[in-house]
């Protein structure tokens, strides 16, 4: 079953290749969606795909890449939008 999760990762997660590493992990899991930095220092991950694969990505997000310190991971499940064709990094500038 295709699901969607919106994941917000808090801690030291910007400036440590968190977005790039998340994209690589999501690609390896065959997920679609986005990852972006938030103005408050958190990282937002939106992932669509098989629930088991999203769960694997969420578990990876709890640790992140070397150099990251994850303090908290918030997850909201939702109906998939099917609007994504791949998994991409969004470069928002604040």
Domain range holding 27? 2-82
Percent of the chain residues topping a pLDDT of 70: 98
| Within-domain flag for 15 | yes
Let me know if 24 is a catalytic residue.
Answer: no
Question: Could you say which of 3, 37, 69, 72 is catalytic?
Answer: 37
Tell me, what DSSP letter sits at residue 85? S
Q: Are 68 and 34 within 8 A, CB to CB?
A: no
| Within-domain flag for 92 | no
Domain containing residue 15: CATH number: 3.30.70.100
For residue 94, pLDDT over 70 is answered with no
What pLDDT digit, counting tens, does each position of 21-57 carry? 999 999 999 999 999 999 999 999 999 999 999 999 9
| Within-domain flag for 93 | no
- Long-range CB pairs of 20-23 (<8 Å, 24+ gap) are 20/65, 20/89, 21/64, 21/65, 22/57, 22/60, 22/61, 22/64, 23/87, 23/88, 23/89
Rg (CA), the chain: 12
pTM for this entry: 0.95
Work out how many domains the chain is built from and give that number: 1
């Amino acid at each position: 079953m295709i699901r969607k999760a919106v994941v917000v990762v808090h801690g030291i997660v910007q400036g440590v290749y968190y977005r790039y590493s998340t994209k690589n992990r999501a690609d390896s899991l065959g997920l679609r969606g986005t990852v972006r930095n938030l103005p408050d220092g958190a990282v937002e991950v939106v992932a669509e795909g098989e629930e088991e694969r999203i769960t694997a990505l969420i578990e990876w997000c709890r640790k992140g890449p070397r150099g990251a310190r994850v303090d908290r991971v918030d997850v909201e499940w939702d109906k998939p939008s099917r609007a994504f064709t791949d998994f991409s990094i969004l470069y928002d500038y604040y």
